[in-house]
Amino acid sequence: MERDRDTAMAAIRSVYRITGRINTGSTLAETLQLIVDAVVDGTGFAVAVVNYLHPEGVYEAVALAGSEEAGETLLGARYPAAELDEYLERAEVWGQLRYLPHERHSTHIHSWVPDAVPGGDEVPEDERWHPLDALFAPLRAPSGELVGILGVDLPSDGRRPGPLQRELLEMLAAQAGIAINNANLVEALQRERRHLAASEEAFRLAFTGAGTGMCMLGLTGVSQARMTRVNPALCELLGRSETELLELRIADVLHPDDLDLARLAFAAATTGKGTPVRDYEIRCVRGDGTVIWVSTTLSLVAGPPAFGILQVQDITGRKAAEADLVRRASRDPLTGLANRDALAPPLAAAIRRAHAGLGDSVLLFCDLDDFKVVNDTRGHDAGDAVLVAVAQRLCGLVRPGDTVARLGGDEFVVLAQDLAGTDAAALLDRVERAIAAPVVHDGHVLRVRASVGAAVIDATCQDAGAALRMADRAMYQVKGHRHTLGMTERVTAHGERSGAPGGIPLLWLAEP
């Protein structure tokens, strides 16, 4: 679980880092190369190629990263759109992605086949990436128009990509489609300027028709800067009319908590330091009061007078997806409880509170007795039902500020802060009784019991590891008493730390 969380966080940080790069290309060709470089850099695939869709309906492999041999084979290859679309109809649908297993490979499409795949025989055959496997991601403009197809190959671990890797590839493909659309807009604008004597008319057409929100603004500082021109896409994105936006300052549409960031970004962009195009992610407030996340690109245009062109793209959905990735990396997928990593911050906070004299806490370590019997006799579905029921019951026993976590298997932890001795003993008793209540699953009544060890977190507690070890040892002593004495009598015993505040028993075994 820790490795999965680290992998998810590293991937998210990588996507954050590289998505800004793909919008900095000054030409379409440069943008396409930045895209494939970003895919290889951030998604775990060794090879990436963009098949750009030309206006005449022909795909062309125009940018590739990761393999010179693949580049020599693929770059410049052209396919009628109908032919490549027919090829992709054989693929399995993975959300926005299209996976073509080697069994469905066609020789009609020019392709590159690697000599070997990382991992080799060390990867189970049912998870192994085959040299003829292929994975594609459609690249779409904000309007939904298809602008190209991204192909990837050679996953670094030699396995078919899992949900996280697929989602990251989808996120990057979405940003790539926007970048290609923006590059197309820029090149279209340049072509118009070359062909039309009235450069202002050419700009007006591109500006007004852009699917990305755009505005022109003065460079007088974010607190006073006003939009002097807005396009319909920006009006729709911000939920305000053109007249209303032209009467407002830039600061009026920003979230109050992001004003300081906006001031720093605006100052950096307008002092001439660094590149003339800067990308920022910031919150805006729509006309109806709702808050959205946007990605902004500020380009400076030399005067006189100098002005800025701001491009704004709604990324609220992407932000929500990233937050969900972070949440899933810290939660137990079966029960939804905090996992070991997510338990660490509140446990550390409880130790700090105890050391500061702000109150002691109690840590309960729960291990389910007879759980193996349920799995062996009724199957893992029944075992899962028991674990979910135990999680729900534990959550129902604690206060909003307390923490319930599953450490794995049938081990649960309850962290209750600012709990007096009598209340802690009562909580321990309620925990045991709640777990001992029967669980009905598929017409069967399932019963498990709990061995619960308690550790007091006071000023003598050194760290989170010490607290967990103490509660774990207490739980095993309870389990030992249970095997020795049976369940016919109530036993209380004290662990190695006698004299706990309020006389809290460090071990408490109660008959359900």
Q: In what order do the strands lie in the sheet with 97-100?
A: 78-80, 58-65, 45-53, 146-155, 134-140, 97-100, 92-94
CA distances from 220 to 26, 181, 213, 266 (A): 26, 30, 21, 9
> Which positions are catalytic?
410
Contacts of 64 (CB under 8 A, 6+ apart): 36, 47, 48, 49, 50, 70, 71, 74, 75
Contact (CB, 8 A) for 390 and 368: yes
* The pair of three-digit structure tokens given for residue 340, joined into one six-digit string: 């070991």
Contact (CB, 8 A) for 271 and 284: no
- Amino acid at residue number 243: T
Contacts of 313 (CB under 8 A, 6+ apart): 142, 178, 212, 213, 294, 295, 296
Nearest to 505 by CA among 432, 434, 448, 429: 429
Query: In 10 A of CB 155, how many CB atoms?
Result: 24
Distance, CA of 258 to CA of 251 (rounded, Å): 9
Contact (CB, 8 A) for 493 and 484: no
